[in-house]
Chain A
Amino acid sequence: MKQDCKREKRVGIIDYQLGNLYSVQHACTFAGLVPEIVSNPLKVNSYDGLILPGVGAFGEAIYNIRRLDLEKPIMDFIASGKPFLGVCLGMQLLFTESEEFGMHKGLNIIPGKVIRFPKRNNMGDLLRIPHIGWSRIFPAQNGMIHFPQDTPFSEIAVGEYMYFVHSYYTVPINPEHSFSITNYEGINYCCSSVRDNVFATQFHPEKSSQKGITIYKNWAKMIH
């Protein structure tokens, strides 16, 4: 911990002109990070960690990222091995493609698709969409009784509640890229994803009360 305090950990929060970045910014500050909102492609690589937040529609988001010349800096940052965090739509954008309002190509960091909740579950119950509210998260890997240490979920209890707001969810092709799962009205789906230095959550840790802030603090520890 002492080493952590030695120097400021600067984190870029990518602004692609959609959604509310401020709650992510406040959560970072609260977790001891020094966040900065960034839309200048030349600055992206200067941070110690990078966050892709987002609320809104996939197509518009990816269009803005490309229009603002942010795709390559994001890819370069990820290739550099520094910690990268995707939140909500920011997680979905990391996937290969989304079916939201037509097919859109994503950043393809995590192979897989983004699909819409069905109108009804297997029992025939009507689903209220968007899914807005608190759902419990569980490890995606069979037989795991705790979330592993030295991950963003260390100290988070299995079955803890997190806050979700979405109509689409991710389906990673490789099961190893699924870190946790949740359930909404009988639909089980991947709610956080990991691949090397990239971590992403479908829920909003910055809106998930003290437990969500723990995730930001854990993520902060991974920044060197």
Chain B
Amino acid sequence: MTTTTAPEPKADPKPKGDRRWWQRKEPPRQDNNAIIGVGKSTPYLFSLPAILLVAGLLGFPVIYGLVQSFYRRPSLGADPEWVGTENYTDMFSSDAFWHSLNKTAIFVFGSLVVGMALGLLFSFALFKVVGRLRFLRAVTIGPYIVSNVAAAVMFRILFNAQFGTVNQAIEWLPWVETGPRWLADPTMAMVTVIFTQVWTDLPLVILLLLGGLMTIDKAHLDAALVDGATGWTRARHVTIPLLAPQMLISVVWLSYSTLTGLGVVLALTGGGPLKATQTMAMEMYTVGFRNLEFNEALAIATFILILNGLLTLGYVGIGRKYDYEA
């Protein structure tokens, strides 16, 4: 059994570069087969169901979506015909698309600003009482167990113009007569959607940032202190840069969640009023499932996926640059 095993297991840890990964031989390792007295097919049998299911139901949609975005059905119910990039050129020349791109930009940027500000504030505060006040942890993850639709119902009640608690509080102020009509006013509807989206996403952001704060080596902070950096200076020049990886992941996650998120918008406003919250995800849903123009909608979906990839790369690039400077 061990005839092919090299005398020293760590002899050649790097695989040969001239082969593709599926042709490459794993470097022999002694401890490998030694404990696992099983047939060669076992690992494949174990992992195949998962690989097939993921490839079939997550991999297939990407390829299908990309291919079908170059087709179009001439009429409802007819077979799709190849139209080249026509779906894309039509998309880029339609006002509805640019409108939704504009709304998405506001939605993503607003959620990033609100989400990161609240996330940093809450995680710094929670870090101060880590180990004590344990109920706060349970409170923090509360929104995580709520579906997007339930969150939308809750925020529709909270932000109701007539009886909502937010307006009750605003109208309690002596100089305000009536609070804004949150979901009927185009600008305020976007604000409401942003708050609802951030509310559902914040638990993960807080846990990420809190985890990052807890892993920061105390020596760095003590060293900064010896150098005379306290308070804001220390937070600005020591804590925040050390927290950069977790902040980056939070930004990527928030932007992914808002760019591709449909549930909150659909359940809260449905894109309205007057298309004021018609994000690209909503636009894709409208084109696909209300107008039943699947191929046109797939062009939008592909655009969203590409944009998401580019944004992620952009954030990582910014993060790396920041890392080198520090």
Whether A associates with B in a native complex is: no
